[in-house]
Chain A
Amino acid sequence: MDLTADFFSLFDLPRTFRLNLSELDSRYRDVQAQVHPDRFANAPEAERRLSMQWATRANEAYMTLKKPLERAKYLLELAGHDLQAESNTAMPADFLMEQMEWREAVMEARSGGDHHELEHLYQRLRGDIDARYDELGALLDERNAPETAVDRVRRLMFLEKLLYEIDDALASLED
């Protein structure tokens, strides 16, 4: 075990998208309980520094594996697919059209102060995103289809951003 080990091995978990999240939680806590700087508050400088590095790494690993989009990106990165470069390519026209329609609906509901409509859009999108993650799970864990997975991840990046914007709009109406 060293600081450069991948996030899955750090928690001794299988390298899969369909991760047992409660298992991830408890492994993260177990590791953090060993390496956290609070365990080394009174230790020599060398151990304190090492502890900060490990705890930092454990936090980064946990944040990455906990969120499905980050986890998928990380899995693809481990498999040698650079999303950063590939995300520059254009998206299919029908997907972009759909996105524009979504955005218009959100803007309209926001400017009209329609809380109910925003809530409805949020739930609909949430459902759509969840279904896409199910599909992504199959692509990554069963069908070993990284090219298709990259495409799906890129779509999900758009959708997650949209979801965040709806949430933001809801929050601004509540204030």
Chain B
Amino acid sequence: MALFQIAEPGESAAPHEHKLAVGIDLGTTNSLVATVRSGIAVCLNDEQGRSLLPSVVHYHADGSTVVGYDARKDQAVDPKNTIVSVKRFMGRGKHDIAHVEAMPYDFVEAPGMVRLKTQAGIKSPVEISAEILKTLKARAEVALGGELVGAVITVPAYFDDAQRQATKDAAKLAGLNVLRLLNEPTAAAIAYGLDNGAEGVYAVYDLGGGTFDISILKLTKGVFEVLSTGGDSALGGDDFDHRIYCWVIEQARLSPLPAEDARRLMMRCREAKEYLTKNAEAPILLRLASGEIIDIRLDAATFAEITQTLVSKTLQPVKKALRDAGLRADEIKGVVMVGGATRMPQIQKAVGDFFRQEPLTNLDPDKVVALGAATQANLLAGNKTGKDDWLLLDVIPLSLGLETMGGLTEKVIPRNSTIPTARAQEFTTFKDGQTAMAIHVVQGEREMIADCRSLARFELRGIPPMVAGAARIRVTFQVDADGLLSVTAREQTTGVESSITVKPSYGLSDDEIAGMLKDSLAHAKDDAMARALREAQVEAERMIEATEAALAEDPHLLNAAETAKIRNAIAKLQEAAAGDNRRIINIAMDDLGFETQEFAHRRMDQSIKKVLSGRKVEEIGTGEKE
């Protein structure tokens, strides 16, 4: 007989409502949104029953946008204002982007990230991506009939800090609460692993429209552990289209094409690529603006030949990831194929030959990432039922370091470190009386600074004047569970503490995001203030709910006075949330946060003790009956 109702940690005893959470695959070519319904992950479709949303945004002169299939139709007639594959520009400068000359856009150099000049004004890749996310958010809210608690957004595992930050900013701009940035191959592994009850070491080969990832994961009961990851964030199906394009230009002896022709020919090339997955030969037929007609046939063998270097380019990161994981190809139990581009027969053959086994293609390579993300979103939102539980241990793809003397890199956090992770390094001054120190943060594997990606430069000032070598400056790198970096520097010999925390600077500042948010809301005929207030109220409700649940679970961790203080802070926040002053709500949230800090510490402490001692009880306490 049960005398007590025992609640598991993280699960409240009271019946709770199902929270609306989604997983979003923000892809180079297509994007999807999925959710968990009655325990099953499903993609949410548009009104015409289509789950894919082409990642294409068409800007009109009045600032309005069209996203998806309709925008895709516009690309041939208005290529300059119709942005495809914007993911390739996320967190990138103009010089980073491949085939820039073949693109119809007006690029604008801007610090950190390239911008695109459209008839609706200059747009950042973050804003353009936000349009795609907004469309998916609206789709989900209609389908689920309510406001979303949060979303898991997927990113290529090989995305660096700049690209991740840009993705998170885009989600923020679209009004999404980001529960987590999740690596695409890891999302696929969740979907695959949970469906198949898989155990052992698996490789996920993910070739998308514009990015390539390889992840090696160990799947054990309830744990998905990424051992290593690698890839190329500028290699994908688009490059295969481009190879066909170049081949056609060469075969037909064409001079450089105007933008409209170029875009239409690129579309024909993409169709030919897709046609060749099931056919031995594909026709490429196009009438150019000049009246000239292109009529060429591409056979599978030629296609394989002209793309052979691209295929082998994917195998280099595969070898490196295996080496980083300390494994040989024959120790991999299965290879999960993800991304539309893995439908190409030459890819399947190359991967099969390399691992000496048939790759696993039983999941839809277009949907598997979104489905995995939805499953993770459901868990993070707190919708888990007792046994539906797993732990995800992911890694950072690229080493993080600092510039030292002579333009060399000093690695602070090596690639494939499990996140969250932190590491501190000490530096000193090299001149007498030096009061400032420049700190340059980079990401990459190369020894020379110039070969790595520069993430941030900042200056630590106010170091008390001392003789050279006497100051001790501690630089701490912290990478959070989204794979995002923050850096803190502190001088610690003297009582004077000068400390600085930076988020790398290529992204957008909070002010810039606020500005964009205001602009975009002006078009949506919405009220920025009203929305900000609503967001604060939702956040307050969430906080109250979480605190109440904690109080119900662990009342014994607090004495009467402490409980009263927390209850008081809850009551004040409730009162504030009922009003319409966002500032007061934020203050009340800060107060409740402050009052619950110690409680949070004790709860964490208790749960760790419980799990460690629980094991001993299990060992000796089996066989007992009620």
Contact = CB atoms under 8 A, between A and B. Distances in A.
B319 A175 contact: yes
Interface stretch (A48-56, A108-116, A117-125, A139-147): A48-56
A138 interface: no
B323 A27 contact: no
Contact of A52 (B222, B420, B600, B607): B420
A50 B593 contact: no
B250 interface: no
A90 interface: no
Interface residues of B, number: 52
Interface stretch (A38-46, A93-101, A148-156): A38-46
A60 interface: yes
Nearest to A47: B600
Given A1-B609, A35-B604, A175-B319, A44 B592 contact: yes
Nearest to B152: A41
B381 A41 contact: yes
B612 A11 contact: yes
B605 A1 contact: yes
A1 B608 contact: yes
B307 interface: no
Interface in B601-616: 601, 603-605, 607-613, 615
A139 B570 CA distance: 57
Nearest to A13: B612
B604 A50 contact: yes
A1 B316 CA distance: 45
B608 A35 contact: yes
Contacts of A30: 611-612, 615
A85 interface: no
B611 A31 contact: yes
Given A2-B605, A56-B422, A171-B323, A41 B380 contact: yes
Contacts of B425: none
Contacts of B611: 30-31, 33-34
A29 interface: yes
B612 A37 contact: no
B608 A55 contact: no
A70 B10 CA distance: 34
A51 B604 CA distance: 8
Contacts of B615: 27, 30
Given A50-B601, A51-B604, A37 B480 contact: yes
A37 B391 contact: no
Contacts of B609: 1
Contacts of B613: 12
A157 interface: no
A55 B480 CA distance: 10
Contact of A46 (B316, B481, B593): B593
B198 interface: no
Given A32-B393, A55-B420, A42 B379 contact: no
Residue among A45, A51, A171 with max Cβ neighbours from chain B (10 Å): A45
B596 A175 contact: no
Nearest to B597: A46
Contacts of A171: 319-320, 323
Interface of A: 1-2, 11-12, 27, 29-39, 41-47, 50-52, 54-56, 59-60, 62-63, 167, 171, 174-175
Interface of B: 9-10, 19, 149-150, 179-180, 222-223, 316, 319-320, 323, 376, 379-382, 391-393, 417-422, 478, 480-481, 542-543, 546-547, 592-594, 596-597, 600-601, 603-605, 607-613, 615
